[in-house]
Amino acid sequence: MVEDDILTLEEVAKYLRVSERTIYDCAQKGEIPAGKIRTAWRFKKSEIDKWVNERLTSTNLTPQINPVHAQSILSEHRILFLNYSSKRDALLALAENLSAAPQVKNRQELSTEILKREELMSTAIGCGIAIPHVRLSSVTDLVVSAGISRTDIVDFHPLDDEPVRLVFMIAAAGNQHAYYLQTLSWFSTRLKNKDLRDSLLQAKTEKEVYNLLVN
């Protein structure tokens, strides 16, 4: 990069080692030097360097973690109704769906790493829920796919022996450790609500599922 390089949002996120959402939010709020060309944000490297230096020398170095907003990490297109009794089939279907998200740059790696993670330890957390998750350098920002199974998935081997029916797959960027853990906690906490679980299982459409999760 030269001093007056013009950078994209994705390039700035990689350069600063933060998520694209963080840069987008800062640009929207006018907290980072940026300009828009039609609908695309663009950044001058020299101004970004100055902005970073000012903040690194500031006494206010408290890290900021964005709150989890389901509508920013999930869409109706990433909700699936599943009908598999095997976790491998369910995971591959969700990984295929999730890989269509623009944040996922390597479809094969996502499927491979999700299955590898599941072999190490079951991601079932009880109450019929599983939350398979990975962090990958080929993912640019955290994204989620949700699966509502019409059939008991019998081989997740949860501690409570309850067959899994709700699967939430999370893929995050390699530098999103804190936000990744926060999202895992957010889903596990919300899904402790039995009324919500029952409503998700009874939902007939992707829109119903989406509205239940974001409201």
Alpha helices in 69-142 (DSSP H): 70-73, 87-98, 107-120
C-alpha distance from residue 174 to each of 10, 14, 19, 20, 126 (Å): 14, 11, 9, 12, 27
Backbone phi, psi, residue 20, to 5°? -60, -35
With a cut of 60, say whether residue 117 has pLDDT above it.
yes
Domains defined for the chain, CATH in brackets: 6-56 (1.10.10), 72-214 (3.40.930.10)
Task: Return d(Cα 189, Cα 101) in angstroms, integer.
Answer: 25
Would you state the pLDDT for residue 37? 80
Tens of pLDDT, residue by residue over 162-199, are: 999 999 999 999 888 888 888 988 998 999 999 999 99
With a cut of 90, say whether residue 44 has pLDDT above it.
no
User: What letter would DSSP give residue 76?
Assistant: G
* Residue whose C-alpha is closest to residue 138's, from 168, 169, 102: 102
Tens of pLDDT, residue by residue over 60-76, are: 444 445 678 888 899 99
In the predicted model, what is the mean pLDDT of the chain? 88
CA-CA-CA-CA torsion for 135, 139, 145, 151, nearest 10 degrees? -60
Would you state the pLDDT for residue 66? 60
- Does this model's pTM top 0.85? My answer is no
Please report which confidence band the pLDDT of residue 59 belongs to, taking 50, 70 and 90 as the band edges.
very low
Strands 143-153 and 79-82: parallel
